[in-house]
Structure 1
Amino acid sequence: MGYIEELRKIIGTRPIILAGAGVAVTDECGRILLQKRRDGLWGLPGGLLELGESAEEAARREVWEETGLEIGKLELVDVFSGKKYFVRLPNGDQYYPVTVVYLTRDIRGGELKEDGEESLEVKFFPFHELPNELSPLVKDFIEQYFRG
């Protein structure tokens, strides 16, 4: 049983704050890698930190697990948090994520493939051809990215 499952046994479904990391992976053509999640929205590869894990370690691990790609150098983009990112899961669990978002162009290996659990589909998109069903985090990242 993982840390969050153990915590949920104590607090139930009440809202908590959880730390996570996401990565905007771009390829040599400047396209961004997105993953389609179970909620039907396209998001950045990423997930929650495990105990003792750094945000950078979590970012690399999550990209590997969810997309099959090994990434290297990470550039900090921003930290996204607040009410607009509130999540209520189908089982009733609630949380406010604090997500550290990185950018990388450093794809070192692996083979692009969805994991079938968290990623139903993974695909590189040109920035001018993004799907309509974007997560709020991706929308905010895109705005931040183009402002910079």
Structure 2
Amino acid sequence: MTTRDFGQDLRLWADELRAIASEGLYWSGADAYQRRRFERVRRIAAELWALQATDEVGAIETCFRAEQPHVAPEPCGDAAIFNAQGEILLIRRRDDGLWAMPGGGFEVGETPAEAACREALEETGLAVEPLALVGVYDSRRCGSRTARHLYQFVFLCRPRDVTAQPTLSNETLDVGWFGEDSLPPLSPGHAPRIRDAFRCWRGEQCAAVFDRPEQ
């Protein structure tokens, strides 16, 4: 069981209430009673969110009102890029100063694999080829620290040009290749995903990882 701090729990509870309120308001139609109930749920979600944010409750609630009717976990992806020596390419993030696989949120019109490859190019300067799906991870289960509920796809990748060298971007402080026994301090949530990526690279893991339903 992954340990989270209380602030992380507050944000996740607020995010879940926000989704319930948005969907409830959509299906309430002209039922004034139901609408009042879900508007109150949305307000509570904003109040919870504000406990761990610098924005005012009213500003947060305004953002919540502008969202689409059906709110779902946000998809994002990582590129687990390996070289011929079996080392993984990691970036040092600007937001927390820790190391992570290159990755980010998906955009409309691209597949998950395309998104992971795009993020790799933007953050490392390397064009990569996706080889396999390592797994799909629920941010609540793998230790990620985020204000939103995420589904995190990890793709095993290799550089299209083995002679190309990674470069820095405006999102990264550093970039480098690392062996499994010499990993730097990792950003929260990346340790289990990187572990599975190494297993997949070595051929020890054939099926993609996913979170089993809790009993």
Deviations 1:34-89 (A, max 9, x none): 000011110000100011221011011000000000011331000111423241xx
Aligned length: 131
Give the AA of the match of 2:160. Answer: R
State the distance in 1 between where 2:81 and 2:126 align.
Answer: 10
Match for residue 34 of structure 1 among 70, 86, 90: 90
Say whether 1:128 aligns with 2:177: no
1:18/1:125 CA distance change after superposition, 3 Å:
same
Shift of 1:111: 3.5
Q: Is the 8 A contact 2:144 2:190 kept in 1?
A: no
Match for residue 191 of structure 2 among 139, 143, 148: 139
Give the AA of the match of 2:83. Answer: D
Q: For residue 157 of structure 2, what is the aligned residue in structure 1?
A: 104
State the distance in 1 between where 2:80 and 2:110 align.
Answer: 20
Shift of 1:143: 3.2
Q: Give the match's secondary structure for 1:53.
A: coil
Match for residue 116 of structure 2 among 59, 65, 73: 59
Give the AA of the match of 1:64. Answer: L
Give the AA of the match of 2:75. Answer: A
Give the AA of the match of 1:142. Answer: I
Structure with the larger RCO, 1 or 2 (CA within 8 Å, 6+ apart): 1
State the distance in 1 between where 2:139 and 2:89 align.
Answer: 24
Over 4 Å off, 4+ runs: none
Q: TM-score scaled to structure 1, two decimals?
A: 0.78
Q: For residue 77 of structure 2, what is the aligned residue in structure 1?
A: 21
Give RMSD over aligned pairs.
2.4
Shift of 1:23: 0.9
Shift of 1:9: 6.6
Unaligned runs of 5+ in 1: 1-7, 88-93
Structure with the higher fraction of residues in helix conformation:
2
Over alpha carbons, which structure has the higher Rg?
A: 2
1:114/1:17 CA distance change after superposition, 3 Å:
same
Match for residue 78 of structure 1 among 125, 129, 135: 135
Unaligned runs of 5+ in 2: 1-60, 66-70, 206-215
Q: TM-score scaled to structure 2, two decimals?
A: 0.55
